[in-house]
Amino acid sequence: MDYGLYISAAGALAQSARVDGIAHNLANANTPGFRRVLHSIQSRQVASREDPGSHYDSSDLHDRIGGGLHLTKEQEHLHPGPISQTGRNLDLAISGDGFFAVQDPKTQETFYTRAGNFTLDPVGQLRTADQKHIVLGQGGTGIIVNNPAHGNIAGQVKIQVFDPEAVRERVGSNLYRFEGEGKEILPLGKVHSGALEHSSVRVVSEMVEMIKALRAYESNMNAIRSHDFTLGKAVNEIARAVR
């Protein structure tokens, strides 16, 4: 009985996390350069005392007898979104691999993004859309744009390419932190001016996945209520019989 509750609760938690992830994708359906996050659910196997990578816990019922579902590590959809012309001079889109390098002016830490909807600060320095990060040019310095309307060349943006297997971390604001330096490439032939890469999220597909996840969550919650009712009934009837 308790095991049934464990199984149903594990399924509900996995589906709840999946719903949160899908909601995050949908919230970023219009965010330039956003890569949708994939969420996979797998059955939980019996953990082994001998396997140091299994993190066996003798007090955990799942580890002792296995079963149930769990959400595997989130994976990003590596394919870029579509690129379209915007006609805005400060919009840039990368064709193929690579990320724009941007820097936090307070900490001097470098981050990377595919979002090219840049803006100018009061002194004409190229920044991210939220104005919090400086867009780096080749040589690792910021880019000052004096008169963007007349097509003056203010500099070339810095683009870094990383190995597909490189460890990366989402740090918010559509930015990444990579492990390792990556390789700097010339933007010639890689950057489209007056264009943006759109989000790779497909709203209809995400909504279908959301409906599936919500139905699975509700099924697990119904199972929990059923187990709880049965357990309560058994306890009460046994208590009466003992009297």
Domain spans of the chain, in order of start: 2-77+201-242, 83-197
The pLDDT assigned to 132 comes to: 95
Per-residue tokens: 205: 């597909």
- Averaged confidence pLDDT in the chain: 82
- Percent of the chain with pLDDT strictly greater than 90: 45
Residue pLDDT, tens place only, 27-82: 999 999 999 988 777 776 554 444 544 444 545 555 555 556 666 667 777 788 99
Phi, psi of 198 (to 5 degrees): -85, 170
